[in-house]
Amino acid sequence: MLNVEHLKFRYAKASEPTLHDVTFSIDKGEVFGLLGPSGAGKSTTQRILMRQLRGYDGKVQMFGQNITDLDRTFYDRIGVSFELPALYQRLTARENLQLFSALYSGATMPVNECLALVDLEEDADKRVESFSKGMKMRLNLCRALLHDPEFLFLDEPTTGQDPARARITRDLILRLKAQGKTIFLTTHNMAEADEICDQVAFLHNGRIPLIGSPADLKHRFGKRTLEVTTASAQPNQIYEFAMQDIGRNQEFLELMHNDDILSLHTKEASLDDVFIKVVNQ
Q: For residues 64 and 167, what is the distance between their CA atoms, to the nearest angstrom? A: 33
Q: Is the dihedral of CA 208, 213, 215, 216 positive or negative?
A: negative
Same domain, 166 and 233: no
Same domain, 148 and 232: no
- pLDDT value at position 279? 80
| Segments in the chain below pLDDT 50 | none
Same domain, 160 and 24: yes
Nearest C-alpha neighbor of 60 from the set 199, 35, 156, 52? 52
- For residue 229, the tally of other CB atoms under 10 A from its CB is 15
- pLDDT value at position 63? 95
Note down the domain range covering 274: 219-279
Same domain, 122 and 243: no
* End residue of a domain, out of 184, 212, 240: 212
- pLDDT value at position 265? 79
pTM of this structure: 0.86
CATH classification of the domain holding 91: 3.40.50.300
- pLDDT value at position 22? 96
Same domain, 20 and 123: yes
The total number of structural domains in the chain stands at: 2
Contact 108, 147 (CB under 8 A): yes
Q: For residues 231 and 236, what is the distance between their CA atoms, to the nearest angstrom? A: 5
